[in-house]
Structure 1
Amino acid sequence: MNASPQDGPWLDDAAGRLIRPYTVSGGRTKPTTALDLLSMVRATGSGLQPHMGPEHGLALRLCAGPTSVAEIAAHLRLPAVVTKVLLSDLVDCGALTARAPRFHTNPSDRSLLEAVLDGLRQRL
């Protein structure tokens, strides 16, 4: 198996994903916490519950500072819905806090969109 260290145990260069995403979430497709891709989550300092898997631990480590659900899904290389289920498990047990995205009165405000574009350009 030729998995690179950052890919975690569920990816293999030749075979692809070794574990189906729905097995990571225990077959669940509905998170118990209302999260969208722009929601910010942050670790509280509480640990994992004993029944949680390694994916929960990896997600929790990614949340040392405020991090968006979209960013966590990208790092985990999991579909957004699976990531939301994992994160909602962590919110439910008190390991994470979640905050809805803050929009100005007009989410399509030109200055807001330009700020987002500038941030993306800096990261690329």
Structure 2
Amino acid sequence: MNALQQLIRHRMAENHWSYGDIARRGGLPRSTVHNLATLERLSRPPRPVTLERLARGLDVPLDTVRGAAATAAGLHVWQEPVSDPEIEVMVAGLAKLSPEERRHVQALIRSLLNGRQQQD
């Protein structure tokens, strides 16, 4: 079970909620809540508005839902605060890239870091 499934199912059990209850509370279609709770692996995180509504429906902080959704989609969540606006722009831009483009960016970063380690 992935992190988003665990979060949804935990909140359902804890509060005796159904998929419909969460959907009504968050303003989402019941089918969306059901799919997020039953899909084993997300190909990508849900849209930001879906995450916001799911957080409202589950009555948990948005960052909790974002982190669980990212993990469920195989992404790593950066927990450190970012004070450099260039980094914020780059990270936000990654969401607009296709999975193939993100793999290229990841390979470039690894290559740059490996080159730096060899120089040290």
Normalising by structure 1, we get a TM-score of 0.30
Which has the larger strand fraction?
Answer: 1
Normalising by structure 2, we get a TM-score of 0.30
Which has the larger helix fraction?
Answer: 2
State the structure with bigger RCO (CA 8 A, min sep 6), 1 or 2: 1
